[in-house]
């Protein structure tokens, strides 16, 4: 279902989880497909920046990470569309895949976070199939560094590489890395690393259902998120109203 020019996965979270796990079976080929859990911030960025839109268009799936996208999708006719929140997608794939021969590589977070996440998923989800971790430098990686990382991932035999670097950096990183690795999926999941290691508090379910998680996160991290939300939320509403009144743009200025 198309929302602000981006085709979003529209058959629900449970379907996405099962399809992802089934695709990681030994009998299935490895295509190094990229998946992004994209919220309003990512959609607004893609609407404003043709380069980022083209990148998301190249991804295998773009999951609707936020409820506003789901509401728009349902309004347009996607009755089975549900929120595919990055941290939930991560949790369900790790927990439901714990008994399957599906292996994982964690790439992202501050120094030590990926290692903490490996311990956390073993304790919380009963999954001990994490075959590697890596904390990328804050700057853009050189080609030599990326090749070295790809070699480590390929030697690990990982099925899924989870990337937690924040959007749009994580999508650009995953796209570059996908050209060098032999895996089933590279999945960008934003703050999932911090949430599941308890470094950042996650909004209660009732707040998430009200689509007020942005407000909860703003209260938790006002200095980091205030400018983003004050900019992104009005633009998301404005761009959708404009599209509703004038129709989708065929190209971006």
Residue at 252 is within a domain: no
Residue at 253 is within a domain: no
Q: Is the pLDDT of residue 200 over 80?
A: no
* Number of domains into which the chain is organized: 1
4-28: pLDDT as tens digits: 999 999 999 999 999 999 999 999 9
Residue at 133 is within a domain: yes
In CATH, what number is assigned to the domain containing residue 92?
Answer: 3.40.50
Q: Which residue has the higher pLDDT, 226 or 96?
A: 96
90 SS3 class = helix
Residue at 97 is within a domain: yes
147-194: pLDDT as tens digits: 999 999 999 999 999 999 988 999 999 999 999 999 999 999 988 999
Mean per-residue pLDDT for 102-120? 94
Share of the chain above pLDDT 90, in %: 68
For residue 66, the model assigns a pLDDT of 86
Is 35:188 a contact under the CB 8 Å cutoff?
yes
Mean per-residue pLDDT of the chain = 90
Is 100:70 a contact under the CB 8 Å cutoff?
no
In Å, how far are 15, 57, 170, 206, 223 from 92, measured between CA atoms? 11, 25, 21, 19, 31
Share of the chain above pLDDT 70, in %: 94
For residue 249, the model assigns a pLDDT of 62
Per-residue confidence band for 213, with pLDDT thresholds at 50, 70 and 90: confident
Q: In whole angstroms, what is the distance from residue 20 CA to residue 183 CA?
A: 12
Residue at 23 is within a domain: no
Q: Look up the domain containing 44 and give its range.
A: 30-205
Per-residue confidence band for 34, with pLDDT thresholds at 50, 70 and 90: very high
For residue 87, the model assigns a pLDDT of 94
Residue at 121 is within a domain: yes
- pTM of structure: 0.88
SS (H, E, C) 197-223: CCCCCCCCHHHHHCCCHHHHHHHHCHH
Residue at 224 is within a domain: no
In total, the chain counts a number of residues equal to 253
43: its two tokens = 């959609």
Per-residue confidence band for 229, with pLDDT thresholds at 50, 70 and 90: low
Omega within 30 of 0 (cis) for the link into 190:
no
CB contact set of 106 (below 8 Å; sequence gap of 6+) = 114, 117, 118, 130, 132, 133, 134, 162, 164, 193
Residue at 59 is within a domain: yes
Per-residue confidence band for 211, with pLDDT thresholds at 50, 70 and 90: low
């Amino acid at each position: 279902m198309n929302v602000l020019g981006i085709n979003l996965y529209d058959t629900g979270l449970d379907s996405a989880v099962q399809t992802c796990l089934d695709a990681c079976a030994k009998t299935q080929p490895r295509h190094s497909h990229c998946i992004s859990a994209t919220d309003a911030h990512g959609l607004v960025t893609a609407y404003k920046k043709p380069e980022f839109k083209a990148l998301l268009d190249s991804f295998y799936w773009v999951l609707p990470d936020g409820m506003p996208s789901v509401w728009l999708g349902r309004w347009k006719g996607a009755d089975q569309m549900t929120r595919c929140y990055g941290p939930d997608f991560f949790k369900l794939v790790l927990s439901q895949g714990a008994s399957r021969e599906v292996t994982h590589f964690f790439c992202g977070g501050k120094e030590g976070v990926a290692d903490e996440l490996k311990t956390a998923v073993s304790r919380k989800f009963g999954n001990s199939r994490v075959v590697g971790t890596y904390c990328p430098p804050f700057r853009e990686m050189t080609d030599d560094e990326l090749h070295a990382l790809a070699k480590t991932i390929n030697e690990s035999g990982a099925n899924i590489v989870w990337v937690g670097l924040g959007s749009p950096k994580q999508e650009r990183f995953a796209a570059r890395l996908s050209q060098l690795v032999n895996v089933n999926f590279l999945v960008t999941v934003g703050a999932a690393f911090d949430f599941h290691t308890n470094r950042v508090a996650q909004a209660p379910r009732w707040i998430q259902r009200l689509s007020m998680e942005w407000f909860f996160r703003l209260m938790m991290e006002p200095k980091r998120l205030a400018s983003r939300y004050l900019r992104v939320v009005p633009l998301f509403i404005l761009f959708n109203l404009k599209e509703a009144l004038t129709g989708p743009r065929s190209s971006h200025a």
